[in-house]
Amino acid sequence: MTSRPPMPDEALGDLLDQIAEHLGSPVPAHLSAALRAVPRHLFLPPTLWLRDGSGDYEPCERETAPERWWRAAYRDVPLVTQFAEGPDGTRAPSSSASMPSVVVRMLKALDARQGHSVLEIGTGTGFNAALLSSLCGAEQVTSLDIDPELTRRAQRALKASGQQPDVVCADGAAGWRPNAPYDRIIATCSVRTVPLPWLEQTVTGGRLVIPWDTPWCNYGTLLATKQADGTAEGSLAPYGSFMLMRAQQVDAELRGDIPHAGREPERSTTSLSPWAVAGSDLDAQLYIGLRVPGAWHMWETEPESAHVRLWLADGRTDSCACVDYDGQQTSAFAVSQYGARKLWDEVARVYEEYVAVGRPGVDRHRLRIIPDGRSTRLEVSVPTA
């Protein structure tokens, strides 16, 4: 016999307290009202996948573990709701319920109010679409998801919640012209390049809130305003780590392919620690990611000829590099670079620049999104303090 899970009001009160603690201030009244009007548990599947403490996930079933399931539903944590199998047979999360405090941060930045027309890219569970409907009116909200099964689940959950925005199964990269233009566009997946249709379908003065990604670092959220000349300008906020939009995923990165076999490298040493560029300093990682195009990295903890190895690669070319730690001294590290592009040299130069300009935080970056043919290009600057 199982004991009674918390009542919705009790659980929601706890969640609002957790979010406020994370934000460092109370949840704004209009967002608190939306959260109270839209119970999160209605949008979660019977099986949630929770961290097991060893880097993997374990299922949590509402039927057999209702208390644990309910606690997870109203904790300020992201929840994996679906897995997909990769080309090598491994599985990886393919959909999740975002961390509630990040949801609140993004909605606060979006500043969506009654009467605003909103396009959401990435319906997922439908929870965010329901919150947007509460804030703006369901008839003003269009939500897109490329996954047919997720779309159907979200439509059912939204109907059960009493909110029925226009939910469409479509590739979000193209936006949705039938309901354009939009006063606000928000994405619940990250991008490396803002799709041109998103700019074209936003009104002048409209707001875009888009999680950002580079091959080097998945972190930060673009807060931008559409300009009269068709560009969008804004800054990055220091929160958000979302799954990359499917249309922009690179197979080589997904598989972890490092094209070095049978090739002779250019060898050298460096005094720059690999942990400086690919460790816990997210400001450094973002700076590098914005300025070393295409470069990504992965750690190898049991290489044959080193104690720990940092691999660097470019998913668009056959260039790669590695930096080895011998497990003893940290004043010099062995470097091997393969191919025409000297990736470690590029990363080291950009890191030196990062230090020279004062180690700017994520929110110091100014981004300008510029239409360029059928896509957009990015200009990045860091204004002097």
Long-range contact set of residues 230-233: C-beta below 8 Å, sequence gap at least 24? 230/199, 230/200, 230/371, 231/199, 231/368, 231/369, 231/370, 231/371, 232/194, 232/199, 232/202, 232/208, 232/368, 232/369, 233/366, 233/367, 233/368, 233/369
The reply to whether 98 belongs to the active site is yes
- Spatial distance between the Cα atoms of 244 and 254, rounded to a whole number of angstroms: 11
Rounded to 5°, angle at Cα 146 from 142 and 150: 85
Identity at 43, one-letter amino acid code: F
DSSP notation for 339-363: SSS-HHHHHHHHHHHHHHTT---GG
Q: Which of 3, 32, 95, 98 is catalytic?
A: 98
Identity at 134, one-letter amino acid code: S
Instruction: For residue 261, give the nearest of 338, 313, 325, 340 by alpha carbon.
Output: 338
Measure Cα distances from 156 to 76, 144, 159, 249 in Å: 24, 15, 5, 29
Tell me how far the alpha carbon of residue 271 is from its chain's centroid: 32
User: Each residue of 22-56: b (16+ CB within 10 Å) or e?
Assistant: beeeebeebbbebbeebbbbbbbbeebbbeeeeee
Q: Cβ atoms within 10 A of the Cβ of 305, count?
A: 10
For residue 168, what are its two tokens? 């469409």
- Spatial distance between the Cα atoms of 152 and 157, rounded to a whole number of angstroms: 9
- Spatial distance between the Cα atoms of 260 and 283, rounded to a whole number of angstroms: 29
What's phi and psi for 196, nearest 5 deg? -55, -40
For residue 156, what are its two tokens? 């059912």
Cis peptide leading into residue 5 (ω within 30°):
no
Active site residues: 98
